[in-house]
């Protein structure tokens, strides 16, 4: 018998798993047993955690974010703008990012996510002004401190205004530097296989901020290194026009020309695809990160989630960057996705369980992982436990539905790989008020330029 201790999470108020009415047993970092109605756990040495006040979900998985943007929330100059003018307002501020500010921005974003029930997150970091060469390393260190599972991307921009792109010259890097650093961070940090805590993917920012050559070479590098690929695509009509004018094709055609249309790729947004393009995505196994809050804030449009799922395209959820959300609460994103997609497709095609599935199993597919996103034997012990003890839940009937319909926003307990990283609604070892003070000061410095 294994020497690792076992834990029975016993008699939950509700759990998002069939045949686990009396709970689940964990050993080490994995789920080893589901306990059905009328049975007791078969694991004799399991300690017991009484979960009678908890609704248990698989840990939520965030498939799109820009952590550094927690430093530029609700910036006055960017209010009430659509994507391209919104970026124009923010690029000069982001160009002033420093390593200390990034560390605070990343730590705060991760804390927000964790407290909302997130156990795995991606991040898309694509601004590398001078002095920020170690951005991904800073992110890896923060994830390890907090015990959060991550798929961090080495993002990039190399098509600036001087070459017909959108970003100013000061925030882009040259192709050789990007490719060399991409290989460095994968070699240094990427863990392959089940149970990985840190993985790396490569992520040129978007068709309007990266050259064709960099798109192609990044795809080739990802294939050689065995890592995933991510970018923004089909977010706005502006992007359609840009691709038509610069490349004489639509964004998905451009993606395919760059060697990107395959199952190694997950795309943020995917709003403006037509029916033929949706079929091509399904055939290729390319998945989509749906970001409902960001899409509504920037008035980008509504991702056709049901049409895509029915065609066979995998859908995950992302909070997107905190400059366009402007929060990093993944449980609130579940509710936002539920409301937005239900208003589009109606009560027969969208239920609260669909929205929970997008944030768990659907998001796991975006990250290319089969060991997370579900409560099942052999999967990682990544869990989010919510209490229904706030006024918003009082008198609720179905506990799982209540999480989505009444607006759950803070987990009471969160576990990653068998280890509690949130207890009693707090992150042990993290002085959250001090972090908020330092983060707020850094954000104001960045925004004011002093």
User: Could you write out the DSSP letters of every residue in 157-217?
Assistant: ----GGGT-SS-GGG---HHHHHHHHHHHHHHH---STT-SEEEEEEE--TTTS-HHHHHH
For Zn ion, what does the binding mask look like between residues 368 and 407, x meaning CB under 5 A?
----------------------------------------
> Shortest Cβ distance from residue 371 to Zn ion (Å)?
26
Give the interface size with Zn ion as a residue count (CB under 5 A). Answer: 2
- Of 321 and 362, which CB lies nearer to Zn ion in the complex structure? 321
- Of 10 and 269, which CB lies nearer to Zn ion in the complex structure? 269
> Shortest Cβ distance from residue 124 to Zn ion (Å)?
6
Q: How far is it, in rounded angstroms, from Cα 240 to Cα 249?
A: 8
Candidate segments 9-17, 195-203, 312-320, 425-433, binder of Zn ion by CB under 5 A: 312-320
- Of 291 and 421, which CB lies nearer to Zn ion in the complex structure? 291
> Shortest Cβ distance from residue 362 to Zn ion (Å)?
18
- Of 8 and 260, which CB lies nearer to Zn ion in the complex structure? 260
Site for Zn ion in 147-176 (CB under 5 A): none
- Of 320 and 374, which CB lies nearer to Zn ion in the complex structure? 320
Candidate segments 85-93, 280-288, 313-321, 337-345, binder of Zn ion by CB under 5 A: 313-321
- Of 10 and 290, which CB lies nearer to Zn ion in the complex structure? 290
Candidate segments 241-249, 257-265, 274-282, 317-325, binder of Zn ion by CB under 5 A: 317-325
Strand pairing of 149-156 and 23-27? unpaired
> Shortest Cβ distance from residue 27 to Zn ion (Å)?
38
> Shortest Cβ distance from residue 303 to Zn ion (Å)?
13
Put residue 66 in one of left, alpha, beta given phi > 0 → left and psi -120 to 50 → alpha: beta
Candidate segments 114-122, 257-265, 318-326, 442-450, binder of Zn ion by CB under 5 A: 318-326
Cα dihedral angle (389, 391, 397, 398), rounded to 10 degrees? Answer: -60
Q: Which of 51, 102, 49, 43 is nearest to 72 (CA)?
A: 102
Per-residue DSSP letter, 239: H
For Zn ion, what does the binding mask look like between residues 103 and 142, x meaning CB under 5 A?
----------------------------------------
- Of 239 and 320, which CB lies nearer to Zn ion in the complex structure? 320
Residues contacting residue 135 through CB under 8 Å, at least 6 positions apart = 99, 102, 125, 127, 128
For Zn ion, what does the binding mask look like between residues 263 and 282, x meaning CB under 5 A?
-----x--------------
- End-to-end Cα spacing for the chain: 60
> Shortest Cβ distance from residue 292 to Zn ion (Å)?
13
CA 329 to chain centre: 10
> Shortest Cβ distance from residue 266 to Zn ion (Å)?
12
> Shortest Cβ distance from residue 126 to Zn ion (Å)?
9
Q: Is 333 in the site for Zn ion (CB under 5 A)?
A: no
Inter-axis angle of helices 175-189 and 212-225, to 10 degrees?
A: 20
> Shortest Cβ distance from residue 268 to Zn ion (Å)?
5
- Of 173 and 294, which CB lies nearer to Zn ion in the complex structure? 294
Label residue 346 exposed, middle or buried (CB < 10 Å: 0-12, 13-18, 19+).
exposed
Q: How far is it, in rounded angstroms, from Cα 235 to Cα 285?
A: 19
Q: Is the peptide bond before 218 cis (omega within 30 degrees of 0)?
A: no
> Shortest Cβ distance from residue 16 to Zn ion (Å)?
27
> Shortest Cβ distance from residue 65 to Zn ion (Å)?
7
Given candidates 139, 277, 320, 374, which one binds Zn ion under the rule CB under 5 A?
320
Q: Please say whether the beta carbons of 216 and 259 come within 8 A.
A: yes
Residues contacting residue 115 through CB under 8 Å, at least 6 positions apart = 410, 411, 414, 422, 425, 427
> Shortest Cβ distance from residue 282 to Zn ion (Å)?
23
For Zn ion, what does the binding mask look like between residues 185 and 224, x meaning CB under 5 A?
----------------------------------------
Q: How far is it, in rounded angstroms, from Cα 261 to Cα 312?
A: 15
- Of 62 and 360, which CB lies nearer to Zn ion in the complex structure? 62
- Of 323 and 411, which CB lies nearer to Zn ion in the complex structure? 323
Residue 315 half-sphere exposure toward CB, CA atoms < 13 A? 26
Query: DSSP 3-state helix, strand, coil percentages of the chain (rounded to 5)?
Result: 40, 20, 40
Per the document, the length of the chain is 450
Beta-bridge mates of residue 8: 25, 48
- Of 33 and 320, which CB lies nearer to Zn ion in the complex structure? 320
| Site for Zn ion, rule CB under 5 A | 268, 320
């Amino acid at each position: 018998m294994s020497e690792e201790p076992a834990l029975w999470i016993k008699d939950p108020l509700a759990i998002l798993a069939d045949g686990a009415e009396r709970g689940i047993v964990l050993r080490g970092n994995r789920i080893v047993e589901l306990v059905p109605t009328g049975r007791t756990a078969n694991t004799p040495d399991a300690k017991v955690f009484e979960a009678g006040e908890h609704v248990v979900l698989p840990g939520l998985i965030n498939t799109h974010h820009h952590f550094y943007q927690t430093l530029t929330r609700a910036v006055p100059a960017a209010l009430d703008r659509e994507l391209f003018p919104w970026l124009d307002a923010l690029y000069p501020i982001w160009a002033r990012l420093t390593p200390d500010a990034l560390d605070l921005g990343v730590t705060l974003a991760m804390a927000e996510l964790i407290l909302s029930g997130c156990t795995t997150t991606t991040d898309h970091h694509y601004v590398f002004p001078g002095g920020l060469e170690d951005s991904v390393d800073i992110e890896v260190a923060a994830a390890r401190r907090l015990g959060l599972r991550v798929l961090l991307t080495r993002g990039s921009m190399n098509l600036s205004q001087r070459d017909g792109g959108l970003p100013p010259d000061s925030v882009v890097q040259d192709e050789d530097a990007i490719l060399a650093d991409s290989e460095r961070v994968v070699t240094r940090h990427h863990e392959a296989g089940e149970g990985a805590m840190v993985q790396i993917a490569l992520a040129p920012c978007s068709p309007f901020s990266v050259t064709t050559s960099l798109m192609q070479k990044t795809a080739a590098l990802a294939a050689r290194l065995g890592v995933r690929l991510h970018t923004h695509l089909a977010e706005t009509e502006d992007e359609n026009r840009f691709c038509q004018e610069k490349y004489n094709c639509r964004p998905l055609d451009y993606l395919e020309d760059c060697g990107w249309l395959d199952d190694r790729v997950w795309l943020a947004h995917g709003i403006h695809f037509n029916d033929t393009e949706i079929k091509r995505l399904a055939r290729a196994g390319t998945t989509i990160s749906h970001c409902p809050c960001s899409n509504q804030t920037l008035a980008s449009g509504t991702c056709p989630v049901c049409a895509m799922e029915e065609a066979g395209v995998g859908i995950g959820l992302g909070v997107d960057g905190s400059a366009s959300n402007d929060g990093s609460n993944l449980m609130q994103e579940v509710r936002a996705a539920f409301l937005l997609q239900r208003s589009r497709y109606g009560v027969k095609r969208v239920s609260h369980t669909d929205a929970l599935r997008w944030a768990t199993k659907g998001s796991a597919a975006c990250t290319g992982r089969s060991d997370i996103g579900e409560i099942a034997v052999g999967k990682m012990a990544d869990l989010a436990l919510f209490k229904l003890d706030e006024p918003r839940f009082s008198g609720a009937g179905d506990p799982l539905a209540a999480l989505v319909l009444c607006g759950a926003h803070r987990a009471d307990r969160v576990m990653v790989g068998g280890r509690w990283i949130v207890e009693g609604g707090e992150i042990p070892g993290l002085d959250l008020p001090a972090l908020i003070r330092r983060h707020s000061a850094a954000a104001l410095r960045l925004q004011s330029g002093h």
